[in-house]
């Protein structure tokens, strides 16, 4: 996966949708990922799940 800034809007929406179906424990584990875009999307999805 490319850096978030390098993704087109559609690619970003698609990646976020794929990440959003993951469980909260899986999203938390992904916060430790070496992949910056993976961590970024996981954080966004956790915020969405928490309503913040």
User: Residue 12: inside a domain, yes or no?
Assistant: yes
Give the structural domain span for 44.
7-50
Would residue 1 count as lying in a domain?
A: no
Q: What angle do CA 33, 26, 39 make, to 5 degrees?
A: 30
Under 8 Å CB-to-CB from 1, ≥6 apart: which residues? 7, 15, 35, 37, 38
The verdict on residue 24 lying in a domain is yes
Domain count, the chain: 1
Q: What's the mean per-residue pLDDT of the chain?
A: 88
Residue 5 banded pLDDT, cuts 50, 70, 90: low
Q: How confident is the model at residue 51 (pLDDT cuts 50, 70, 90)?
A: confident
Phi/psi of residue 36, nearest 5 degrees: -60, -40
pLDDT at 32 over 90: yes
Residue (of 9, 41, 12, 4) closest to 26 by Cα position: 41
pTM of the model: 0.78
- Residues above pLDDT 70, as percent of the chain: 88
């Amino acid at each position: 996966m490319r850096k978030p800034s390098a993704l087109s809007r559609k690619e970003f929406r698609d990646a976020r949708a794929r990440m959003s179906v993951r469980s909260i424990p899986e999203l938390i584990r992904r916060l430790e990922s070496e992949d910056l875009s993976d961590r970024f999307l996981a954080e966004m999805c956790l915020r969405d799940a928490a309503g913040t």
